[in-house]
Structure 1
Amino acid sequence: MALMPVDEALAQLLADVTALPAETCPLEQLAGRVLRQVVTAQVNVPPLDNSAMDGYALRVADAALPQIPVSQRIAAGEVGGPLQTATAARIFTGAPIPPGADCVVMQEDCEVLDGAIRVLQVPRAGQHIRPAGQDICAGEEKYVGGERLRAADVGLLAALGLAEALVSTRPRVALLSTGDELVEPGEPLATGQIYNSNRALLTAMLRGLGCEVRDCGIVEDTAEATARALRQAAEHSDLIISTGGVSAGEEDHVKAQVEKLGQLKLWKLAIKPGKPLAYGRIGKAAFFGLPGNPSSGFVTFLVLVKPYLLAMQGATKVLPEHWPVIADFDWPKAGGRQEYLRARVEVSEGRLKAVLYNNQSSGVLASAAWANALVVIPAGRVIQKGESVDVLLLNELLA
């Protein structure tokens, strides 16, 4: 059976997404959520012309006077009166500019006299004045919906006066680990056992995407236990993610049980690491079966599962950007699958270069912890040192 290319698999996955409902949440719960409404500014930001400095508001035409009496004092949050001719107003950062003034001279450029000032640097019109609407104008459409809100976005919504916004509900994700060899961290290891790193890794990435994660524990390697765990997970989840058990071995029960309980839509992709990834549905819940090797799970989650989760939440940008850098390595053997190599992008000789981790085995999780990028090598391509290659930046992928 021919392996499905990554781009084709992504297209099929995104076409099969069921969007989550929306809910209204307060500002403090918006970070990382996907906006589901249009936001149009109802106010100017700032609402009035205001001072960008502590200093004195005056008319440029009066700046050359030997003395300029200080006629009023305006602090932030106060509104001054019209500026009298040939006078200045003591003003502080953020305070509204009084009518009649056309510049602000910062206090360092003024000599303070008895009840007056002398300007030491000739100002220009508009100097140190932030005009009304400089940041945002009333009526301006700032968000169209589908944006994943970062901290700065939440701050901007607050600046527009919004106390809450309509966002997608958090995806409810059930996480299953399969493999009798797995032991949870903190427990003693017997011969032949390993610690379950996938659970911690995936939980961290899922919570970073705003998901509610339900840990279903380590599932016994039997058909009955696997079926029971999948049925229970499907009852109260939007998405089920399992690790391990999706290959074709005698102890790999996940794929067969998904086919019995629901529908398997994708299996075996032209991706390295991560070929045995599976996707399907059990009842209303979507299902991803990730490989058990930790670097395979890491790569397939970022390349395939994350875009799916973002699409579930109504995000308009779900695919990461590819950035060109210079290969600081040779890759002489063309593979039959699209490869994602753990790498570190560094500045060398004034250029961005990608350096590979020395062991690209799918079982080496240290490569993912060391890397800051994934180098994308299309199927059938060889790379010579100095060529341009595309990378996915992990800072973006993990954000």
Structure 2
Amino acid sequence: MTTLNTFSGSAASLSQFDPQALPVSAAQAIVLQWVTPLAGSERVPLREALARVLAVDVISPIDVPAHDNSAMDGYAFDSGALAQAAQDGALTLTIAGKAFAGHPYLGDVARGACVRIMTGAPMPAGCDTVVPQERVTLDQTGESASIRFSARASSPGANRRRRGEDLARGGVALRAGRELRASDIGLLASLGLVEVEVKRRLRVAFFSTGDELRSPGEPLDAGCIYDSNRYTLGAMLRRLNVEAIDLGMVRDEPDALAATLKQAAASADVVLTSGGVSVGEADFTRTQLQTLGDVTFWGLAMRPGRPLAFGRIWSGGHPGAGRPALLFGLPGNPVATMVSFYQIVRPALIAMSGATPQPVPLIPARCEAPIKKRAGRTEFQRGVAERDARGQWRVTPTGSQSSGALSTMSEANCFIVLAHESADLDAGDAVDVMLFDGLV
């Protein structure tokens, strides 16, 4: 298993690339160089902390477990008795009482005696070993009871969980910058915590551009289409647990676009647009970005998703005026919008949220069909990946790879990642796939 390569050069060395056809790895590096993690934080209840990013280290206030306890149902005893049993190979112990989780045995356990103990129950005083119940023979005579078992059935310290074995009091339970998972919420609860300090949510404003766009539910005029990109962007942002600000649709008018961009910069940390970044006469996003802020690049050597503008805009209308926000001008074709988001935008949003972006694993697979590919650009084709009878991965492209064919994106379960330098592939050739599970 490999991961998608990232560019490791400095900002100065990026000048060797054409800003209208920047390699994907270089674009990813530039974007992350511009990212500044959020500074603000807030305290939230544990039940609301899932997928939030820790703002500070969590220090354990207690030992976990809080006491030595039994790892299974059985009988607790002093392991010193094992040495005495070595001569005849068997050990007989009188049962002195019982211990349950939440109801410990409070008496002293003499040598030659044991305590019936259940999983999680505190180890009784004088006991350091547990023999599993299935390894003993129980002898019940009236009110007295004893067990007999082979000395080989146990060893000193067996089946005992020690105090602080999982976490010691004063130790770091979770590090700052961690995106909290379900297991982390449980861990924090096990420490007795009821709330946790997390980074504030990243604010992301987004909108679509184009006179041809209509909202779902409205009638379609001649030459018009429904706005799918805004719904797609909203859904992808919700998966990242950011505060998404939907600014609707903006017509292909420079003044309307400029006003919306300034509004977005005033209210958000990041602004996402879709459409208006190619070279058409009505494509104004790129020109407005140049007016309102700084343009770093405006095109990638990537398919789909070549027309992509990235930079910074200012709410005051020109660089240095008002409030700044990063801007990603995504292409208008729906699949290109999604590919651009996952490959360029998503890692930046994760980093700005205060977490560390983790490279998405690439899995080697056998391609089941030939693929046409031009060297000099990275391609992300849609595919269906599955394991064969031997457990090896194989992948088949999902029909049309048009950047407007959103149906094939829904059909797919992975991207077929074709490297920048690769060319045409034959059926049976090896490729890398990026599974949607956990990504999309």
- Do the two structures share a fold, i.e. TM-score over 0.5? yes
The answer on whether the counterparts of 1:373 and 1:391 sit within 8 Å (CA) in structure 2 is: yes
For 1:370 and 1:143, locate their aligned partners in 2 and report how far apart those are by CA, in whole Å.
Answer: 38
Alpha carbons of structure 1 residues 317 and 83: separation in structure 2 relative to 1, 3 Å: farther
Question: In the TM superposition, what whole-angstrom CA distance separates every residue of 1:190-233 from its partner, at most 9, and x where no partner exists?
Answer: 44332222122211111111211111111122222212211211
Alpha carbons of structure 1 residues 163 and 24: separation in structure 2 relative to 1, 3 Å: farther
**Aligned twin of 1:357:** 398
**Aligned twin of 2:115:** 89
**Aligned twin of 1:39:** 58
Residue number among 148, 154, 157 corresponding to 1:124 in the alignment: 154
The answer on whether the counterparts of 1:327 and 1:355 sit within 8 Å (CA) in structure 2 is: yes
User: Does structure 1 residue 22 correspond to structure 2 residue 40?
Assistant: yes
User: Does structure 1 residue 100 correspond to structure 2 residue 112?
Assistant: no
For 2:433 and 2:242, locate their aligned partners in 1 and report how far apart those are by CA, in whole Å.
Answer: 26
Quote how far apart the aligned CAs of 1:99 are.
2.3
Kindly report which structure 2 residues correspond to 1:196-207, keeping only aligned pairs within 5 A, or say none. 196-207=227-238
Secondary structure in 1 matching 2:176 = coil
Quote how far apart the aligned CAs of 1:140 are.
4.3
For 2:421 and 2:37, locate their aligned partners in 1 and report how far apart those are by CA, in whole Å.
Answer: 36
Alpha carbons of structure 1 residues 119 and 263: separation in structure 2 relative to 1, 3 Å: same
Quote how far apart the aligned CAs of 1:84 are.
2.6
Where structure 2 has 5 or more consecutive residues not aligned to the other structure, the ranges are 1-17, 315-323
**Aligned twin of 1:79:** 104
For 1:8 and 1:321, locate their aligned partners in 2 and report how far apart those are by CA, in whole Å.
Answer: 19
For 1:40 and 1:324, locate their aligned partners in 2 and report how far apart those are by CA, in whole Å.
Answer: 40
Kindly report which structure 2 residues correspond to 1:316-335, keeping only aligned pairs within 5 A, or say none. 316-335=356-375
For 2:435 and 2:150, locate their aligned partners in 1 and report how far apart those are by CA, in whole Å.
Answer: 48
Task: Tell me which amino acid in the other structure corresponds to 2:345.
Answer: V
Q: TM-score, normalised by structure 2?
A: 0.82
Quote how far apart the aligned CAs of 1:10 are.
1.0
Alpha carbons of structure 1 residues 309 and 96: separation in structure 2 relative to 1, 3 Å: same
Question: In the TM superposition, what whole-angstrom CA distance separates every residue of 1:145-195 from its partner, at most 9, and x where no partner exists?
Answer: 222221112222333344333322111111101122222223333443322
**Aligned twin of 1:385:** 427
Task: Tell me which amino acid in the other structure corresponds to 2:326.
Answer: A
**Aligned twin of 1:166:** 197
C-alpha RMSD of the superposition: 2.4
Question: In the TM superposition, what whole-angstrom CA distance separates every residue of 1:295-338 from its partner, at most 9, and x where no partner exists?
Answer: 11111101000111111122223432333333333224434311
The answer on whether the counterparts of 1:18 and 1:312 sit within 8 Å (CA) in structure 2 is: yes
The answer on whether the counterparts of 1:293 and 1:363 sit within 8 Å (CA) in structure 2 is: yes
The answer on whether the counterparts of 2:91 and 2:149 sit within 8 Å (CA) in structure 1 is: no
The answer on whether the counterparts of 1:32 and 1:150 sit within 8 Å (CA) in structure 2 is: yes
Alpha carbons of structure 1 residues 134 and 7: separation in structure 2 relative to 1, 3 Å: same
The answer on whether the counterparts of 1:147 and 1:317 sit within 8 Å (CA) in structure 2 is: no
Q: TM-score, normalised by structure 1?
A: 0.90
The answer on whether the counterparts of 1:320 and 1:396 sit within 8 Å (CA) in structure 2 is: no
Question: In the TM superposition, what whole-angstrom CA distance separates every residue of 1:217-274 from its partner, at most 9, and x where no partner exists?
Answer: 1112222221221121121111111111111112222222222222222201111100
For 1:240 and 1:139, locate their aligned partners in 2 and report how far apart those are by CA, in whole Å.
Answer: 41
Task: Tell me which amino acid in the other structure corresponds to 2:414.
Answer: A
For 1:237 and 1:189, locate their aligned partners in 2 and report how far apart those are by CA, in whole Å.
Answer: 32
Q: Which moved more, 1:243-252 or 1:153-162?
A: 153-162
Task: Tell me which amino acid in the other structure corresponds to 2:422.
Answer: R
For 1:22 and 1:151, locate their aligned partners in 2 and report how far apart those are by CA, in whole Å.
Answer: 23
The answer on whether the counterparts of 2:417 and 2:434 sit within 8 Å (CA) in structure 1 is: yes
For 2:325 and 2:347, locate their aligned partners in 1 and report how far apart those are by CA, in whole Å.
Answer: 17
Secondary structure in 2 matching 1:242 = strand
Quote how far apart the aligned CAs of 1:346 are.
1.1
Quote how far apart the aligned CAs of 1:291 are.
1.0
Where structure 1 has 5 or more consecutive residues not aligned to the other structure, the ranges are none
**Aligned twin of 1:396:** 438
Query: Quick one: percent identity of the two aligned structures?
Result: 41
The answer on whether the counterparts of 1:46 and 1:134 sit within 8 Å (CA) in structure 2 is: yes
**Aligned twin of 1:55:** 74
The answer on whether the counterparts of 2:70 and 2:117 sit within 8 Å (CA) in structure 1 is: yes
Question: In the TM superposition, what whole-angstrom CA distance separates every residue of 1:318-376 from its partner, at most 9, and x where no partner exists?
Answer: 43233333333322443431101112221114212222212211111222222222121
